[in-house]
Amino acid sequence: MAGGLSYTALESTELSTAEIYGQTLVDLGREHKEIVGLSADLAGSTKIGVFGKEFPDRFFNVGIAEQNMFGMAAGMAKAGLVPFVSTFSTFASLRSADQIHTDICYQNVNAKIIATHSGTSFGQAGSTHHAICDMAVIRSMPNITLICPADGIETAEAVKAAYENFGPYYIRINRGFDRTLYGKDYPREYKFEVGKAIEVNPGTDITVIACGSCVFQAYQAAKFLEEADGLKVRVLDMHTIKPIDKEAVLKAVMDTRRIITVEDHTVLGGLGGAVAEVMAEAGKGCAFTRLGLQDKFAPIGLHEDIMSMLGIDCNGIIAAVREAMGWICLALRASTSSSSTFTPSTTAIWSMNAPVPPAQLPFILIKGSLPLLKKMILESSPPISIRVFTFMSSLCTKFDTAISS
């Protein structure tokens, strides 16, 4: 393993996200004796078991009693220990909601919840084991910080940050192997900071805000759309759902005028809901799409198949971006060479080398403004409709005819 608490791309590929969490906790435990671990008979599945093997006197298996486990964690935190508590996301957020709310959040104790098998990552286990509303539940509780890392490398950083910052933390990670995003091939500098989104890919046409395993999918979609359609898609890794990075959201709204959120979670109350709240409270509107579970339960199957069916994989994001941009916008962009510009030529409009009849001056001004009109069509928010575009094209033809006659 790489030195200390850092992980290489190779290690994050060989280890599942949960295994990286377990190893990171062991590393922290060696340095900080106040860290203890708790499990509800899922030490092997959540990978907190590696901490238990390393420090058996600081590890507690409470059996299948998640509610008791969180109550115990609150008591340990009140006594000065730093408990890391692990179970499946759905068991933590639903079965133990009362204990997290009252024992941990209400008392604002220094307990860290690392919830695994989040979203639909435990796909074949069925709806009882799909954590499709945990972010909505946890986000509504005061005092708690909610993080959804993009890959194993970011998971290690999030776990370390949870220890370094006082207060309740809820970190949701997947069951299996997340595709590595922040590896050696990542072209930008990577820095994790709680509450600060990471611009994974720059862009000015549209912004995709994602969390968890959807960030890698969004990044791949952005690269494809740049190559295939010439679109500049900004991708934000919104790893911290609470407190959300309001500045990054509002900057994306003003810069790109189109926002798509992507999450392995219901669109009600999760990342999409959090982003919508930021925009609404700031009074900023734009074209807005939320990808995720649309107020329904997920199908049963392999995680990658479920993501495809829900439209939160690379292909689904590509389709959503194209729909948000509108095919007219794409046609305009495709028909415009990289060297051309939409800036109207003032020389062409105002040239007085030849007398201009006063009656034709309005038409000349309108014709000179047509390139600017095209720019407005391309950058409109929401994208201009086909009917309106057809009407404008008809007017342009009439203006040309009138000026020529």
Tokens coding 240: 């911290």
- Residue 164 known to be catalytic: no
State which amino acid sits at residue 162: A
CB atoms near residue 63 (< 10 Å): 10
The C-alpha angle with vertex 34 and arms to 33 and 38, in degrees rounded to 5, equals: 110
From the DSSP assignment, how many helices (H) and strands (E) are in the chain?
19, 12
Tokens coding 361: 């001056």
State which amino acid sits at residue 334: A
Helices (H), 212-301: 214-229, 246-256, 271-282
CB burial of residue 386 (10 Å; 0-12, 13-18, 19+)? exposed
SS3 212: coil
Q: How many residues does the chain have?
A: 405
Give which of 286, 271, 287 is closest to 323, Cα–Cα: 287
SS3 115: strand
Give which of 344, 319, 334 is closest to 378, Cα–Cα: 334
C-alpha span between 241 and 283 (Å, rounded): 20
Q: Which of 34, 54, 66, 247 is catalytic?
A: 66
Dump strand ranges (E) for 164-205.
169-172, 198-201
- Note whether 344 and 369 are within 8 A (CB): yes
State which amino acid sits at residue 128: T
C-alpha span between 348 and 323 (Å, rounded): 36
- Note whether 10 and 1 are within 8 A (CB): no
Q: What residues contact 136, with CB distance under 8 A and at least 6 apart?
A: 265, 266, 268, 269, 270, 273
As annotated, the active-site residues are 66
